[in-house]
Amino acid sequence: MTDDAPTPRSDLVSKIDTSVPHSARIWNYWLGGKDNYEVDRAAGDAYCRVFPGIVDIARASRRFLTRSVRFLTEEAGLRQFLDVGTGLPTADNTHQIAQRIAPDARIVYVDNDPLVLMHAHALLTSTPQGATEYIEADLREPEAILGRAAGTLDLKEPVGLILSGILGHVPTGEEARTIVRRLMEGLLPGSYLSLNEGIDTDGEYVRAQRAYNESGAIPYHLRTLTEVTGYFEGLELVDPGVVPVTRWRPEIAAVGESQSLGQAGGVARKP
């Protein structure tokens, strides 16, 4: 599962802190999943009382991920993906979306949460022609991530970097921007970035997020649209640029979906 010896399950269980709410588990709760604890459901419900739109945001963010990975596989022709901040497995994970179109696609998942690692076997159900790998690593060590991803991905070929709802966990927008730059520096021209993040357009969203950040959970910082657009500096944005995720190449089926403005996303190519 990693280059190192796999962490024994008992060690993982002891690392799971069920006394404070946790990002991946609350996100899983809002997405309708079952991999969460009472403390996460309580925090998720408290958040919804201030800003009910968060459930739509979580779901719209996943649908953006699906459409962008489909675009990268089908239209950009990518066959390799690096998904950092994977989260808990849901119905449609990056490898399933990509391998439905290209069974030979290779995917590396990265997260630093012990519960995500415990569920990683569900992320490792590759087609026989392709490959999936899970790496336990920290976003704040981009070179280490690239070094380990090279065990599964051929970094002499383009890669699709997926950063979906993770950069808000980095304290400042500037630091987050540096991380994106360092990750993209390790990838060839012709590689792509698919990124989506929460933005501070709605006062109730900002208030709910502030209360969440004071709950003991690892904070998540909403950014401005300008900051999220800045993450793509030096890259060529594909149409329609950085927009609310519901407006990024929507499908007919998505008509009627709430036009959530609180999550901005885009896809760009490294020239």
Binding stretches for ligand SAM (CB under 6 A): 23-24, 27, 61-62, 65, 85-87, 111-113, 116, 138-140, 164-166, 169
DSSP string, 16-44: ---SS--HHHHHHHHTT-S---HHHHHHH
* Of residues 139 and 243, the one with the C-beta less far from ligand SAM: 139
**Angstrom distance (rounded) from CA 266 to CA 249:** 10
What is the smallest separation between the CB atom of 79 and ligand SAM, expressed in angstroms?
Answer: 21
Is the distance from CB of 159 to CB of 191 less than 8 angstroms? Answer: yes
* Of residues 174 and 236, the one with the C-beta less far from ligand SAM: 174
* Of residues 27 and 47, the one with the C-beta less far from ligand SAM: 27
What is the smallest separation between the CB atom of 24 and ligand SAM, expressed in angstroms?
Answer: 3
Residue closest to ligand SAM, measured at CB: 87
Regarding beta strands 236-237 and 263-269, do their DSSP bridges make them parallel or antiparallel, or are they unpaired? antiparallel
Side-chain half-sphere CA neighbours of 214 within 13 A: 7
**Angstrom distance (rounded) from CA 44 to CA 30:** 7
* Of residues 58 and 261, the one with the C-beta less far from ligand SAM: 58
* Of residues 62 and 221, the one with the C-beta less far from ligand SAM: 62
What is the smallest separation between the CB atom of 137 and ligand SAM, expressed in angstroms?
Answer: 7
What is the smallest separation between the CB atom of 62 and ligand SAM, expressed in angstroms?
Answer: 5
**Angstrom distance (rounded) from CA 140 to CA 84:** 11
Beta strands in the chain (DSSP E): 80-84, 106-111, 131-136, 160-164, 192-198, 236-237, 243-244, 263-269
What is the smallest separation between the CB atom of 140 and ligand SAM, expressed in angstroms?
Answer: 6
